[in-house]
Amino acid sequence: MSIVVQKYGGSSVADPEKLRAVAQRVVATKHLGHSVVVVVSAMGKTTDQLLALSKQITPQPDRRELDMLLSTGERISMALLTMAIREEGEEAISFTGSQAGIITNDRHVDARIIEVRPIRVQDELSRGRIVIVAGYQGMSYKREITCLGRGGSDTTAVALAAALKADWCEICSDVDGVYTADPRIVPEATRIPRLSHEETQEMAESGAKVLNAQAVEFAKQHDIAIYARATSGPLPGEDPSSDGTVVQRLSPDASGLVVAVAGERGLFLLRGELPEAGALLSALDDVEASAKQTQIVRTGGSGWRVSMVFAKENLHQADAVRRILRDQFQERASLIEGFGAVSAVGAGINQDFRNTHRGQEALSGLGIEELFTSSLRSSWILPDDRVDEAQRALHRVFFGTGR
């Protein structure tokens, strides 16, 4: 029997009425003859509220306790959805991440899945039940509860799809696919019917929230097709790209065309000039602070100029980093808030300088601080409050008239 994994995000399960609508979509999938595994996120803004609650107790919550707290959000929605499915007359059972066999490393708050042992899920599917799994969480090999980093329920879904050898993995949210820009910010953005894993991963790493970067990386490694779709939309038909986006293995044509632009807010820049960079790198590793971008350049003298970009969302130890910079590096490096980034994504876009040139011109006057490029992406760092304007300007230059 074919296995289908569906993931429903926070906005899709935000209240009892929406939970009921999701339950009906799940049951309709089951009635088509599939075995169904459903991964759920926490209801609405629950994770943000839990985080804010912890900050009222302490500015620097312990990472283990934070995971204990944040993992409860998904437990609420898994139990409620299971009840809603039973109300629709189907047999269903819920599991936490650890019960579903999601094994992670021991890096609290942004753990990575290292193995999936879905024995209990398989048992329940063979009994004909629909299985509901709490997203965003697992259990470390030390048997501790861990969370996967913001947006991590997508990763739970893809990892389960891989372990169960599912026929497809559907990521359902409030938007009917992946667009050429965030449609909330750029109304002219259009849906992209098909995308490669590589380009989608770059989009996600550049801030396009619709799919989580680690989830896409997992899908690429295990050759899984992801269908990004609207929860309110139909079930995938003959051609799932006709009303959603299919992210799959596509032979890279490296045509040099920009496929999408993205914006990201809430970045910190760490900047400094140091006699040697090694001590800073190991001090940052000690507090498990991982950067999105790092650049280390030798200065005219004997030192090094360091520039790093951190996502505020996943940097829960900013105060510890500040302390390190003050105590160990006597303020020769500092962590500065208030930045964001906009990116252009596409295989081969930096084969020559034309795209960089166009982007640079489109963003002139918006306070660009730095530019990072790779074979798939160009990312400009600029003030946080210019990001939306910059995303619109980049979209206009790459997708407006004269593309």
Q: Quick one: 45 or 323, whose CB is closer to ligand ADP? A: 45
- Contacts with 211 (C-beta within 8 Å, 6 or more apart), sequence order: 154, 171, 178, 200, 203, 204, 226, 228, 247
The secondary structure of 288-340 as a DSSP string is: T---SEEEEEE-SSS-EEEEEEEEGGG-TTHHHHHHHHHHTTTTSEEEEEEEE
For ligand ASP, the binding residue among 96, 104, 153, 343 (CB under 6 A) is 153
Contact flag: residue 310 with ligand ADP (CB under 6 A): no
| Partner whose binding site includes residue 47, from ligand ASP, Mg ion, ligand ADP, none (CB under 5 to 8 Å by kind) | ligand ASP
Stretch that binds ligand ADP, among 5-13, 63-71, 97-105, 282-290 (CB under 6 A): 5-13
Query: Would you give the DSSP letter of residue 58?
Result: -
Contact flag: residue 73 with ligand ADP (CB under 6 A): no
Q: Which residue has the tokens 């409050």?
A: 385
Q: By rule CB under 6 A, what string of x and - marks binding of each residue 202-221 to ligand ADP?
A: ------xxx-----------
Contact flag: residue 207 with ligand ASP (CB under 6 A): no
Rounded distance between C-alpha atoms, residue 389 and residue 166, angstroms? 41
Contact flag: residue 55 with ligand ADP (CB under 6 A): no
Contact flag: residue 45 with ligand ADP (CB under 6 A): no
Contact flag: residue 241 with ligand ADP (CB under 6 A): no
For ligand ASP, the binding residue among 5, 37, 69, 73 (CB under 6 A) is 73
Rounded distance between C-alpha atoms, residue 275 and residue 301, angstroms? 9
Residue 270 to residues 35, 267, 299, 314, 329, Cα–Cα distance (Å):
48, 10, 17, 15, 12
Rounded distance between C-alpha atoms, residue 388 and residue 182, angstroms? 9
Contact flag: residue 340 with ligand ADP (CB under 6 A): no
Contact flag: residue 355 with ligand ASP (CB under 6 A): no
Q: Which of residues 146-165 bind Mg ion (CB under 5 A)?
A: 151
| Partner whose binding site includes residue 135, from ligand ADP, ligand ASP, Mg ion, none (CB under 5 to 8 Å by kind) | ligand ASP
Amino acid at residue number 185: I
Stretch that binds ligand ADP, among 46-54, 158-166, 176-184, 307-315 (CB under 6 A): 176-184
Q: How far is C-alpha 128 from the geometric centre of its chain's CA atoms?
A: 32
| Partner whose binding site includes residue 178, from ligand ASP, Mg ion, ligand ADP, none (CB under 5 to 8 Å by kind) | ligand ADP
Q: In whole angstroms, how close is the CB of 132 to ligand ADP at the nearest point?
A: 16
Residue 82 has which token pair?
């299971």
Q: Which of residues 24-63 bind ligand ASP (CB under 6 A)?
A: 41-42, 47
HSE-CB of 337 using CA atoms within 13 angstroms: 8
Q: Quick one: 76 or 250, whose CB is closer to ligand ASP? A: 76
Helix axes 16-31, 63-87, angle to 10 degrees: 60
Residue 396 to residues 17, 234, 257, 304, 353, Cα–Cα distance (Å):
38, 31, 14, 38, 18
For ligand ADP, the binding residue among 5, 6, 10, 292 (CB under 6 A) is 10
Q: Quick one: 209 or 271, whose CB is closer to ligand ASP? A: 209
Amino acid at residue number 276: E
Residues 85, 87, 92, 98: is their CA dihedral positive or negative? positive
Contact flag: residue 359 with ligand ADP (CB under 6 A): no
Contact flag: residue 175 with ligand ADP (CB under 6 A): yes
Q: By rule CB under 6 A, what string of x and - marks binding of each residue 115-154 to ligand ADP?
A: ------------------------------------x---
Q: Which residue has the tokens 């790779």?
A: 374
Residues found near ligand ADP in the complex (CB under 6 A):
9-12, 41, 151, 173-175, 178-179, 181-184, 208-210, 260
